[in-house]
Amino acid sequence: MMQKKSWALILSVALLLGYGIWFHSRVPVQDADWKEKYAVTPEVTLHGDTLHINGIRDFRFDSDGQVVQARYLNRTYTLSKLKGLWFGLSHFGGDGLAHAFASFEFSDGTFLAVSIEARLRKEQNRYNPLAGAFRNYTKMVVLGTEQDVIGSRAFSAQEPVFLYPINGSALQGQALLLNFLRRADILSRTPDFYNTLTDNCLTGLLAESGRYTELHDWLDYRLLLPGYSHEVLYEHGLIGQGESLEQIQAQARVNPDIAPDTDNYSQKIRSAPSL
């Protein structure tokens, strides 16, 4: 009996060692046959107060997530004109399954959406959360228009999308945006892995905000399931001005009937009642 237990222990240790070697031998790549919407990484240039970004994604998608219009924009932003930050949640399933993203609002009425995503290859049909825990996806910072990042989810996929205005100063928003842009620039040169548990759409946002340690708690399931993360932000005073969480959520709902190419899209999804 003791001999059997010894062999079982040896086998278990060998399997763990083999898994560890396999896991750490996997290397993220920059050059691959990427899906069309992940083929181009943004290029960021900063000169004083001026940001210039090449490769802002402005795609349109059908209800199946297929690309029907592929377009990239080159835009210039003035950092000091940043006036607001929005936290977005797109719920694609029950039990807290959601995608988290951020959107930066400038005083001229323009918005820049930032979304940390798993960069899929053409042979990878869709994101698999389990596979995402085992170094199967490279990480990408998508810089896009709201028509792309929000419209693809709220209008095309008909996912419930919520936009919560974040309480904070303009300087804090500027610092966060710069952190995201630096991360996008680093990933364009030095790829890294996306991880469902430790480095995902939500934890990436928290890490760049500098409040990861304050907000993150491994025992709090709401940060492992982004669909509940707005509750944590509410408890820490990052969203809301005295209203109940239910009131805030009702006000944050994006109207799914507003098409991405509607004039003044960003303003209308924040003012039109959701149905």
pLDDT band per the 50, 70, 90 thresholds, residue 179: very high
The confidence score (pLDDT) of residue 23 equals 45
pLDDT band at 215 (very low <50, low <70, confident <90, very high): low
User: Binning pLDDT at 50, 70 and 90, where does residue 25 land?
Assistant: very low
Q: How does residue 236 score in pLDDT terms, banded at 50, 70 and 90?
A: confident
pLDDT for 22 equals 38
| Average pLDDT estimate for 210-222 | 65
Give residue 129's pLDDT.
Answer: 87
Reported as a single tens digit per residue, the pLDDT across 73-113 is: 999 999 999 999 999 999 998 889 999 999 999 999 999 99
Q: Residue 273: what pLDDT? A: 55
Question: What is the per-residue pLDDT across 115-174, written as a single tens digit (0 to 9) for each?
Answer: 999 999 999 988 998 888 888 999 999 999 999 999 999 999 999 999 999 998 999 999
Average pLDDT over residues 59-81: 96
Q: Which residues of 97-117 are buried (b: 16+ CB within 10 A; e: fewer)?
A: ebbbbbbbbbeeeebbbbbbb
What average pLDDT is seen over the chain?
Answer: 87
**What per-residue confidence (pLDDT) applies to 105?**
98
pLDDT (0 to 100) of residue 211? 61
Is residue 30 over pLDDT 70? yes
- The Cα 61–Cα 38 span in angstroms is 14
pLDDT per position as a tens digit, 183-198: 999 999 999 999 988 8
Looking at residue 103, its pLDDT comes to 98
Angle between helices 201-209 and 170-189 (to 10 degrees): 120
Could you tell me which residue, 95 or 34, shows the higher pLDDT?
34
Q: What is the pLDDT of residues 238-249, one digit of tens each?
A: 999 899 999 999
Domain residues of the chain, as ranges? 31-271
Return the pLDDT at 19.
Answer: 40
